[in-house]
Structures are given as structure tokens and as C-alpha cells.
């Protein structure tokens, strides 16, 4: 589903199995964000095919955090594809993050992450993104902000009328409150969460932030 030039979203719409929204940043360095579960990856392949996009041209996989429903499908890509995740999240995956994989019967990634992101600027094919460390749902969660397009890719930090759960290993509600407050300061026209529907329009997004702050963190 095309959002605007060089940005595509393949939302997970089924309630029968947990999976995440997957995002494609197209251009000279096609990048897939949060590929989801391995056994459910066909919906991404089908969506990309409809948009005339070739999965074999993807140069980087970037994961907003390390939970199985966001990272498991990286196993479908060989080591010629760069695999990126927040640095703190990488170390969490090698420690407490293992618990969730074992609890859900998912296998830890065997093809390792090779790029570890810190807060700051990330260049993807000439496009400039701000990497924002947003702990709370997991210790090393990150969001990507595309200032030029006023677009936030929020992973599981922030949803439509909700936030990521904090009862999983490494979750922290106080840290999540700080992360949401930080994101609320951004100039956003399009918000793409890790699950659920997109939010478009500055007014609707500000209203969503206020609802979340009032309902979850008052």
C-alpha cells in the first residue's frame, strides 16, 4: 500500500494470528522495516508484488525492536542483506529478550544483526531519518522520524489509542511514558505504528497523543 513516493506499508489486518505492520522505504537502497513472523511473511511478498516491488532488491532489514513478531522473518534473508537494530536492543536480545522467544516457541535469529543503531541521524539511500531511542515496551526500542515527510515509524512504542505493553521481559511503564512524551514533541503528519491502523493528519495525531497521555500516564 503506497503512502507516498518511496514509502509503502503492508499492514497486518488479521486477528487470527499476531503479526506486525511492515514498512518499505524504497529508492536507491530499499529497506524493509519489521518483516514480522517468518510463516506469515507471504502477505508482505504479496503486497510488494501488487506494488511492483521486488523483494530481492531489498538491501537492508531494520527492526524497531527484537520481539519475535517483528524480527523472525529476517531469517529469510541471507548475509548479503544488512540487518539493523538498536544497539541496546541487540544486547537485550542476547539476554532477557531470549525469554519471549522461548515462551512463544519461536527460534532466535541465526543470521545475526550486523548494524547497531544509536540515537542520531541515519541515511538510507539519500533520505535522512532520525533514530530515536524509545525504551519502555522493550529496553532498546527505536522509532524512525522522517522529518522531510513529517512521518513517524513508531514500532510498538505508540499505536492508535494505545501504547506497547510493558508486562513482557524488559518492559517498563515509566520509561515508556518518557518515550511517548519525547515523541509528542515532534511535528508529525503521518504516524505508522507497529500494529493497527495508521493515523494521518496533524490534528488527529495530536489528539491521539493527548488521549494516550491522559489515559495511560495520568
Per-residue pLDDT tens over the stretch 74-124? 999 998 999 999 999 999 988 888 888 877 778 788 878 999 999 999 999
Domain count, the chain: 1
pLDDT at 147 over 90: yes
pLDDT value of residue 117? 97
Sheet with 115-117: list strands edge to edge. Answer: 2-4, 7-10, 22-25, 31-33, 60-63, 82-86, 115-117
Report the C-alpha gap between 18 and 40 in whole angstroms: 9
The stretch 189-215 carries a mean pLDDT of 97
Handedness of CA 200, 12, 145, 65 (dihedral sign): positive
DSSP state of 210: H
Domain that holds residue 81: 2-216
What is the arithmetic mean of pLDDT over 59-72? 96
pTM comes to: 0.96
Name the DSSP class of 47.
Answer: H
Return all residues near 59 (Cβ < 8 A) that are at least 6 apart. 29, 30, 31, 81, 82
Per-residue model confidence (pLDDT) at position 184: 97
Q: Would the pLDDT of 218 be above 90? A: no
String of DSSP letters for 19-60: ---EEEE-SSS-EEE----GGGTHHHHHHHHHTT--GGG--E
Interior CA angle at 111 toward 110 and 115, to 5°? 130
Average pLDDT over all residues of the chain: 94
Which CATH number do you get for residue 67?
3.60.15.10
Would you give the distance in Å from CA 217 to the centre of its chain? Answer: 22
Which residue do the cell numbers 489509542 mark?
161
Q: Which three cell numbers stand for residue 25?
A: 522505504
The predicted model gives 177-188 an average pLDDT of: 98
Position 40 pLDDT exceeds 90? yes
* Per-residue pLDDT, 101: 82
Amino acid at each position: 500500500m503506497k503512502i507516498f513516493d518511496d514509502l509503502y506499508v503492508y499492514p497486518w489486518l488479521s486477528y487470527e494470528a499476531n503479526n506486525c505492520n511492515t514498512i518499505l522505504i524504497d529508492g536507491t537502497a530499499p529497506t524493509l522495516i519489521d518483516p514480522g513472523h517468518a510463516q506469515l511473511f507471504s502477505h508482505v511478498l504479496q503486497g510488494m508484488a501488487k506494488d511492483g516491488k521486488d523483494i530481492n532488491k531489498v538491501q537492508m532489514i531494520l527492526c524497531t525492536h527484537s520481539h519475535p513478531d517483528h524480527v523472525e522473518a529476517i531469517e529469510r534473508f541471507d548475509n548479503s542483506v544488512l540487518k539493523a537494530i538498536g544497539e541496546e536492543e541487540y544486547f537485550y536480545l542476547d539476554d532477557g529478550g531470549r525469554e519471549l522467544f522461548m515462551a512463544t516457541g519461536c527460534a532466535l535469529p541465526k543470521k545475526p544483526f550486523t548494524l547497531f543503531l544509536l540515537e542520531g541521524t541515519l541515511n538510507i539511500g539519500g533520505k535522512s531519518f532520525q533514530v530515536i531511542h524509545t525504551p519502555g515496551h522493550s529496553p532498546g526500542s527505536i522509532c524512525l522520524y522522517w522529518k522531510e515527510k513529517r512521518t513517524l515509524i513508531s514500532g510498538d512504542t505508540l499505536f492508535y489509542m494505545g501504547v506497547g505493553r510493558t508486562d513482557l521481559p524488559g518492559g517498563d511503564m515509566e520509561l515508556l511514558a518518557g518515550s511517548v512524551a519525547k515523541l509528542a514533541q515532534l511535528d508529525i503528519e503521518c504516524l505508522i505504528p507497529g500494529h493497527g491502523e495508521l493515523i494521518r493528519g496533524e490534528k488527529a495525531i495530536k489528539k491521539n497523543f493527548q488521549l494516550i497521555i491522559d489515559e495511560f500516564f495520568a
